[in-house]
Structure 1
C-alpha cells in the first residue's frame, strides 16, 4: 500500500505543484518587456508590457492595440481599447517561459512564450 501511495505522490506532484501566476508574479515577470508568443499553427503575436499594467499588442499582420491587464478569478485578463470583451488567460511560468491557456471559451487555445526573441512591435495600422 505504501508503494502505491508513494507512486501516486510522485506522479501527481508536477500537476499539483504547477500553480498559475498571480498578478504580482505576472507583473514582476513581464513589466518592461516585449514578449513574442507562438500560437497553434505557427502564427505569432508580440506584446509590450508597459508600466501601470498597460500593454500594446501587435499581431503577426501588424495590427496594434493598446490595452490594460488585470487579475480576475485566477486568470490574467486583457481589455483592449475599442473591444469591451476581456481576453482571459490562465498563465503558468515554466522553465522555457510562460505558457498561457485562453479561458474565455472552449476549445482552449494554448500559447507559449518564444524564448530569446526581441521582436519589435510592428504597427501598420495603429487602432488605438
Structure 2
C-alpha cells in the first residue's frame, strides 16, 4: 500500500521531506582535525576490512602504513575544506575531508575514487611499523 503525503497546498510534500532530511555536516577544519587526532593512532577500515593506520604526532606530523605495510613519514596541512597529506615517498598530496560520525572519524577522499574510510580502532600507543630489513 502506497502512503500519501497530505499537506496544505502551500507546503508541498517535497518541502516536508527536505525539512526532515538530516543536514550534511561540515568537514572538520584543520584545527578541529588536529584537536581530535593528535596523540592518537587511528586504524581505518573500508567496507568492514582493515585499510591502514596512521599515527598523528605533534606539529602536524604523521606516520602511515597500509595494512601490513612499511610505514611512511609525512605531514598534513589544511587546504580549503580538505586535510591534505604529503609523505616521504614523493607522491602527490592526498586530500581528504574528515567528519565526526557517532564519535568516530569518517574520511572521504577528494579524488576520482571517492574512497570512504571509517575509524575502526583507536590507540594512544605508537604505530607498529614494519621495516624493510625486519626478519632473520
Give the drift of 1:3. Answer: 6.5
Give the drift of 1:6. Answer: 4.2
Give me the whole-angstrom Cα distance separating, in 2, the residues matched to 1:76 and 1:38. Answer: 18
3-state DSSP of counterpart to 1:15: coil
Structural mapping, 1:1-128, within 5 Å: 1-2=10-11, 4=13, 5-11=15-21, 14-16=22-24, 18-40=25-47, 42-104=49-111, 106-115=112-121, 117-118=122-123, 121-125=127-131
Give me the whole-angstrom Cα distance separating, in 1, the residues matched to 2:130 and 2:16. Answer: 56
Unmatched 5+ stretches in structure 2: 1-9
* TM-score for the superposition, normalised by structure 1: 0.82
Greater C-alpha Rg: 2
Give the drift of 1:54. Answer: 0.2
Give the drift of 1:90. Answer: 1.1
3-state DSSP of counterpart to 1:43: strand
* TM-score for the superposition, normalised by structure 2: 0.78
Give me the whole-angstrom Cα distance separating, in 1, the residues matched to 2:87 and 2:103. Answer: 27
RMSD: 2.0
Give the drift of 1:19. Answer: 0.6
Higher-helix-fraction structure: 1
